[in-house]
C-alpha cells in the first residue's frame, strides 16, 4: 500500500509555502511516500485577486515539478462571513470544513497507509477529527520558535493574569525563552479575553500540547533560548511538552510562480552595486494595507535617505484589487527624481529571489516569519516594521534577542514618518549599528546552511522524525 502523509496548511501564502517545502523535504528522505496537501478555499475579503492567481500558478508549478505532491482542494463553504476579523476567519473556515476533512482522510486511509497528518495551528479543528480516526497528528508551526513558546505558554498566562493584554498597556509580559514583551505588542488576536478568536487560540494551544509532535520552521542557532525553553518543558508547565522538531529554515528559494520569465526587477538588481539596495515588501495577506498618506511618507523617506531602493507598492486598502496608479499615489516627480537609484514594482515581486540577490543590502519587512527566514538565508539585515498577527512580538525578538534587525518606531496612530524611515535606512546601510546587524545576519546565513546539511541540527531533527514516520503503523 502507498504510504501517504497529509499536510493541512491554513490560508495564507506564507503558511502554504512552508508546508510545500515540508512536503519536498519529506520526499527527499522518503522518495516512495506521497504527499497530499489539503487546500482551503479563500473566503477572506482581504485576499487580492493577484495574490490568489499567483498562488494558483505556484501550486500548478509545484505539481508539475514534483508529481508526488498532490493538492486536494476542499469544497467551498457557503455563507462564510468574509469580513470577519481575519484570524477568526482563519480558524472558522477549517472548522466548517471538518466533515470534508473527515471524509478525505477516510478515503485516503482506505487506499493508502496514512503515516501522519500535519496541520497548521489555524486548522486546529481537524485535531479532533484525526484523533477520532486514530491518525497521528503533528502541528507544523510556520512561525518562529519564540512564537511557539508564546503560543504554548498562553494557557498559563491566561491563568496567571486577570486582565486582557489590551487593558495592560505597556506592562511587560514574561514568556520562557523570550525577552520581555510589552502587552501592547502581543498579537491582536489574543488581546481580548472575551473574544471568540482568543478562545480559539487557547483551544489550539491546549491541543498542540497533546499532539504527537511540533515541527517548527527555525534552527537551533537562530533561536537558541526559545528552543531551549520549549525543549525544557518551560512553556507547558502543567504537563508534558510533545517532542519539538526544529527543521528549518524551509524557504522557497526558486521562482515561486513557476514562471520562466525573469522579473524586470531582477534585471535591474543585476546592474546595482553589491549589497547597496534596500528592499521594501510587506507580505502577501493584504490585511493592513498602507494608507495613501503612509505611502507618501515612505516615498519621501526613501528619497531623502539617498540610498538605492526596490519597493513593492500596493494600493491602499480601498482599492486592493486594482493596480496601483503610481503617478497618483506617489509625490509628484518622485519616480523621475529617483529613477537612477530606485525601482518600484507594482503589487508583487519575486521576494525570495530578490533577497538572495547579491545587490540587496537591507530589507524593510512586516516581520512575517517566511520573510524573516528568506532574509536570514540571503544574509540580508532587516528593518522591522510589523503590521499584523504576531509581528510586533517578532520585532522585539528580532531586535533584542536575535539582533538581526533594527526597529522602526511608529507614532501612536501607527504612522511611520518619512524622517523615521530615512533615519533607519541610513542607519542600516551606513552606520556602526547597521554594521553589527549586518555581521550578525551574515553569521546566521552560514549557520542556516550548516543546520540543514548532513549532521546539522535541523537535518538531524528531521531525520529523527522521518524515521518515526517510517516505523509508525496506524
Residues that bind ligand UDP (CB under 6 A): 12-14, 17, 256, 281, 283-285, 312, 348-352, 368-371, 374
Shortest Cβ distance from residue 18 to ligand UDP (Å)?
8
CA distance 26 to 253: 17
CB of 109 to ligand UDP, least distance (A): 31
Cell numbers at residue 235, please? 512553556
Residue number, 12 or 381, with CB nearest to ligand UDP? 12
Peptide bond preceding 249 in cis form (omega within 30 of 0): yes
Distances (CA, A) of 83 to 45, 77, 89, 90, 356: 6, 15, 8, 11, 36
Residue 403 to residue 442: CA distance in whole angstroms = 12
Q: How many CB atoms lie within 10 A of CB 48?
A: 21
Q: DSSP strand E in 9-111: where? A: 34-39, 69-73
d(CA 187, CA 386): 11
Contact 152, 208 (CB under 8 A): yes
Q: Report CA torsion sign: 253, 258, 263, 265.
A: negative
Q: How far is the CB of 95 from ligand UDP (least distance, A)?
A: 20
Nearer to ligand UDP, 138 or 282 (CB): 282
Q: C-beta of 344: minimal distance to ligand UDP in Å? A: 12
Q: How far is the CB of 355 from ligand UDP (least distance, A)?
A: 8
Least separation in angstroms between CB 468 and ligand UDP: 27
Tell me the three cell numbers of residue 146.
519564540
Beta carbon of residue 275, minimum distance to ligand UDP (angstroms, whole number): 19
Nearer to ligand UDP by Cβ, of 108 and 287: the residue is 287
Indicate the residue among 284 and 320 with the shorter CB distance to ligand UDP. 284
Instruction: Decide whether 284 or 305 has the Cβ nearer to ligand UDP.
Output: 284
Q: Which of 381, 386, 411 is nearest to 396 (CA)?
A: 386
For ligand UDP, give the closer residue by CB, 136 or 368: 368
- Residue nearer to ligand UDP on the CB measure, 84 or 389: 389
C-alpha to C-alpha distance for 275 and 441, rounded to whole angstroms: 13
In the complex, the smallest distance separating the C-beta of residue 44 from ligand UDP, rounded to whole angstroms, is 12
Query: What is the distance between the alpha carbons of residues 262 and 304, in angstroms, rounded to a whole number?
Result: 30
Taking CB atoms, the residue at the shortest distance from ligand UDP is 368
Residue with cell 532574509: 375
Query: Of 12 and 177, which has the nearer Cβ to ligand UDP?
Result: 12
Give 84-149 as a DSSP string: S-HHHHHHHHHHHTHHHHHHHHHHHHHHEEEEEEEE-GGGTTHHHHHHHTT--EEEEE-S-HHHHH
| Residue nearer to ligand UDP on the CB measure, 12 or 456 | 12
CA–CA separation, 39 and 71 (whole Å): 6
Q: How far is the CB of 420 from ligand UDP (least distance, A)?
A: 22
Q: Please, which residue, 285 or 397, has the CB nearer to ligand UDP?
A: 285
- Cell representation of residue 132: 477520532
Residue 349, CB-side half-sphere exposure with 13 Å CA sphere: 28
The minimum distance between CB 97 and ligand UDP, in angstroms, equals 20
Show the beta-strand stretches assigned E in 180-328.
181-182, 213-216, 244-246, 277-281, 308-313
Beta bridge partners of 118: 7, 138
Contact 429, 362 (CB under 8 A): yes
| Smallest gap from residue 99 Cβ to ligand UDP (A) | 27
Specify the residue, 4 or 281, whose C-beta has the smaller distance to ligand UDP.
281
Nearer to ligand UDP, 124 or 257 (CB): 257
Amino acid at each position: 500500500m502507498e504510504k501517504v502523509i497529509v499536510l493541512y496548511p491554513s490560508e495564507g501564502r506564507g503558511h502554504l509555502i512552508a508546508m510545500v517545502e515540508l512536503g519536498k523535504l519529506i520526499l527527499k528522505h522518503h522518495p516512495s511516500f506521497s504527499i497530499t496537501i489539503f487546500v482551503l478555499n479563500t473566503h477572506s475579503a482581504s485576499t487580492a485577486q493577484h495574490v490568489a492567481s499567483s498562488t494558483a500558478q505556484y501550486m500548478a508549478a509545484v505539481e508539475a515539478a514534483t508529481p508526488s505532491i498532490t493538492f486536494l482542494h476542499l469544497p467551498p463553504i457557503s455563507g462564510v462571513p468574509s469580513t470577519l476579523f481575519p484570524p477568526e476567519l482563519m480558524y472558522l473556515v477549517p472548522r466548517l470544513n471538518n466533515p470534508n476533512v473527515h471524509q478525505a482522510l477516510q478515503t485516503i486511509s482506505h487506499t493508502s497507509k496514512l503515516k501522519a497528518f500535519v496541520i497548521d495551528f489555524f486548522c486546529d479543528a481537524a485535531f479532533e477529527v484525526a484523533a477520532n480516526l486514530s491518525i497521528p497528528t503533528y502541528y507544523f508551526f510556520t512561525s518562529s520558535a519564540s512564537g511557539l513558546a508564546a503560543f504554548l505558554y498562553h494557557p498559563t498566562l491566561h491563568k496567571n493574569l486577570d486582565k486582557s493584554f489590551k487593558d495592560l498597556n505597556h506592562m511587560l509580559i514574561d514568556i520562557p525563552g523570550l525577552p520581555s514583551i510589552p502587552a501592547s505588542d502581543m498579537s491582536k488576536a489574543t488581546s481580548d479575553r472575551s473574544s471568540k478568536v482568543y478562545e480559539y487560540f487557547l483551544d489550539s494551544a491546549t491541543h498542540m500540547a497533546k499532539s504527537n509532535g511540533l515541527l517548527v520552521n527555525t534552527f537551533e542557532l537562530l533561536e537558541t533560548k526559545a528552543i531551549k525553553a520549549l525543549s525544557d518543558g518551560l512553556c507547558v508547565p502543567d504537563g508534558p511538552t510533545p517532542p519539538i522538531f526544529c527543521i528549518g529554515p524551509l524557504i522557497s528559494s526558486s521562482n515561486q510562480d513557476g514562471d520562466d520569465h525573469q522579473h524586470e526587477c531582477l534585471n535591474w538588481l543585476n546592474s546595482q552595486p553589491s549589497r547597496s539596495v534596500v528592499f521594501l515588501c510587506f507580505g502577501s495577506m493584504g490585511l493592513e494595507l498602507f494608507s495613501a498618506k503612509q505611502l507618501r511618507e515612505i516615498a519621501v523617506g526613501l528619497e531623502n535617505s539617498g540610498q538605492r531602493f526596490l519597493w513593492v507598492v500596493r494600493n491602499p486598502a480601498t482599492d486592493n484589487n486594482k493596480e496601483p496608479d503610481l503617478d497618483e499615489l506617489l509625490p509628484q516627480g518622485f519616480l523621475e527624481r529617483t529613477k537612477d537609484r530606485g525601482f518600484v514594482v507594482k503589487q508583487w515581486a519575486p521576494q525570495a529571489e530578490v533577497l538572495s540577490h547579491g545587490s540587496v543590502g537591507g530589507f524593510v519587512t512586516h516581520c512575517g516569519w517566511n520573510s524573516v527566514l528568506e532574509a536570514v538565508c540571503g544574509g540580508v539585515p532587516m528593518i522591522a516594521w510589523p503590521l499584523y498577527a504576531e509581528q510586533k512580538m517578532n520585532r522585539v525578538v528580532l531586535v533584542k534577542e536575535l539582533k538581526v534587525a533594527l526597529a522602526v518606531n511608529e507614532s501612536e496612530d501607527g504612522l511611520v514618518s518619512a524622517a523615521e524611515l530615512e533615519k533607519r535606512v541610513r542607519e542600516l546601510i551606513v552606520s556602526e549599528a547597521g554594521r553589527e546587524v549586518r555581521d550578525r545576519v551574515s553569521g546566521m546565513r552560514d549557520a542556516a546552511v550548516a543546520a540543514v546539511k548532513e549532521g546539522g541540527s535541523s537535518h538531524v531533527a528531521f531525520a529523527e522524525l522521518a524515521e518515526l514516520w517510517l516505523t509508525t503503523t496506524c
